[in-house]
Structure 1
Amino acid sequence: MKIRNVLTIARKDWLEVRQNKTAWIPMLIVPAIFVVVLPLIFTLLLPALNVSPEDVMNSDADITYFIERMPDQLSQYVDLQKPMESMIVVMLGIMFAPMFLIMPLMFASTIAAESFAGERERKTIEALLYTPASDADLFMGKLTAAAVPSIGITWISFLVYTLILNLVPYTTFQRFWFPLPTWWPLIFWITPALAILSIAVTVLISARVPNFQGAYQLSSSLVILVVALFAGQLSGFLYLSVGIELLLGVLFWAAAFFLVYLAVRSFNREALITGRS
């Protein structure tokens, strides 16, 4: 495998993704909603509307149940004597955490689907027959093209989210409180695993699906994993403590490496061009 070929292929795919609004516009909208809009609703809009945090937390049985069953590792950050502070911590610091994982899944599947099925749909993939790069170079180049921006954008979004949660409600907390310890493995351990997992699934699907939309929609079904984590935490069945996150990361990385292995074994440019494995 030649690094120069890998980087050349990755740069080419990055340029093509930039030209496809269908691919990159959602990559701006989703972070804007998750990282900016939702935090501002809880930290600025609700207080401005004179919405009582006590009413919000006491009127919702799910939130009450969620707090009551919370393990000590998380409950130590919730001070019910400070309702506004507690509402922000519970909603944005704990309960919302699994939904943040939608971003690496969506970004990776979007770029990978554009890189594989999208290029075939535009009839530009035939040029791959004449490139001197090996199949391994081609695969790693396209994997790099999807992995680097999807992980990078997620990490940048996390930085922006951290700044907003610390600066905007500073008058409430009188300190910098975010991120909680549970966010470190979530962002830097689980996020890359989910991105690689999503790319591997998209590669396997793209060999059989003729267009970008089909490959993207099928690979996006991995979001069910995030919804399951969110539902499990909301129900009190599974709280994302540091230990649980480390274990989940091991499982996701194992699944990612296994699917990458399958994708590499099944990958060849002829199958990619024809859409047949």
Structure 2
Amino acid sequence: MNWRGIFAVVRKDLKVVVRSPIILLPMIILPLILQVAMPIGLGVAFNLAAEAASDEADDISEFLEVIPEEVLTTLETAGEEGTILILFLVYLFAPLYLIVPLMVSSVIAADSFVGERERKTLEALLYSPLTDMELLIAKMMTAWVAAMVVSVGSFLIYAVAVNVIAWPYMGRIFFPNATWLLLVFWVAPGVAALGLAATVLISSRVETFQEAYQFGGVIVLPVVALMLGQIGGLLFFGPVLVSLLGIFAWGLSVILLLIGYDSFSRDTLFAKM
């Protein structure tokens, strides 16, 4: 395995990411909205309107029925308003966090081969001494590393925001919990791998970056379905479910990677230039 060549491609692609507004802006704006603006907005709404807690409790009544008793016990000191606020921040918003690694990896992976073609640099890349597998590994490493850096960074910001917002109710640092640690360090890497595997599979077959990027928007839908499932009381984002979700994400990403490798060839990419 030519790791020197692989890392050379990774470094080159990361420089392209940093210098490209169309790639960099979604990586910055999305985490700011999901991990900063939304929790702060929710916290402000709860602090300004005392009746918000009871209104929100009615909206998520089915979700409240599936919450384990031990979770509610740990939140007794928060009171009714604080409990509803923390349930939103810690549990209902948990699936939304997965959008960050999924979208970041998808955006960069969408630019993998399509972007090279549009920048007229694909031919030089295809003539490089790297094998097909090494080239594919380099492209996916770029997207995965960037996705994890952004995901962990946004999680750290979110952790600070949650503890600050919930401090008037909890009076202590209580976040992250076991569910979120599994989410960040087990599920998010798998979801990032899944997103990039699916997008690389598509981006090697489409003509423009925009076409590949639009596919990235479609693969976010299952994450939205997870949040709706929680609100509807169909599931609860506890450690067991999150662990199983990670196994599923990693398993499916491996399958897609194998399919992508089997169908990937320089001849196909040359034909599209």
Does TM, normalized by the shorter one, top 0.5? Answer: yes
CA distance in structure 2 between the aligned counterparts of 1:212 and 1:252, rounded to whole angstroms = 25
Pick which of 88-97 and 169-178 moved more: 169-178
Q: Structure 2 unaligned runs (5+)? A: none
Counterpart for residue 55 of structure 2: 59
**Superposition pairs of residues 2-151 of structure 1, within 5 angstroms:** 2-44=2-44, 46-47=46-47, 50-52=48-50, 55-60=51-56, 61-79=58-76, 82-151=79-148
Q: Give the deviation of 1:187 after TM superposition.
A: 1.2
CA distance in structure 2 between the aligned counterparts of 1:121 and 1:72, rounded to whole angstroms = 55
Counterpart for residue 229 of structure 2: 232
CA distance in structure 2 between the aligned counterparts of 1:252 and 1:169, rounded to whole angstroms = 31
Find the partner of 1:221 among 200, 218, 229: 218
Preserved contact between residue 77 and residue 170 of structure 2 (Cα < 8 Å): no
Q: Give the deviation of 1:23 after TM superposition.
A: 0.8
Aligned length: 272
Matched, 1:212 2:209: yes
Preserved contact between residue 112 and residue 200 of structure 2 (Cα < 8 Å): no
Q: Give the deviation of 1:117 after TM superposition.
A: 1.2
Structure-2-length-normalised TM-score: 0.93
Sequence identity percentage:
36
- Rate the CA distance shift 1:46–1:62 in 2: closer, same or farther, 3 A: closer
Runs of 4+ in 1 over 4 A off after TM superposition: none
Pick which of 182-191 and 75-84 moved more: 75-84
- Rate the CA distance shift 1:22–1:136 in 2: closer, same or farther, 3 A: same
Q: Give the deviation of 1:175 after TM superposition.
A: 0.3
CA distance in structure 2 between the aligned counterparts of 1:81 and 1:146, rounded to whole angstroms = 40
Counterpart for residue 193 of structure 2: 196
Give deviations 1:73-96, integer Å, cap 9, x for gaps: 533343387133213211111111
Q: Give the deviation of 1:168 after TM superposition.
A: 4.2
* RMSD after superposition: 1.8
Preserved contact between residue 202 and residue 215 of structure 1 (Cα < 8 Å): yes
Pick which of 8-17 and 267-276 moved more: 267-276
- Rate the CA distance shift 1:95–1:202 in 2: closer, same or farther, 3 A: same
Q: Structure 1 unaligned runs (5+)? A: none
- Rate the CA distance shift 1:246–1:201 in 2: closer, same or farther, 3 A: same
Q: Give the deviation of 1:38 after TM superposition.
A: 1.4
Q: Give the deviation of 1:219 after TM superposition.
A: 3.0
Give deviations 1:173-216, integer Å, cap 9, x for gaps: 21001112211111111101111111111111112210111011
- Rate the CA distance shift 1:117–1:82 in 2: closer, same or farther, 3 A: same
Structure-1-length-normalised TM-score: 0.92
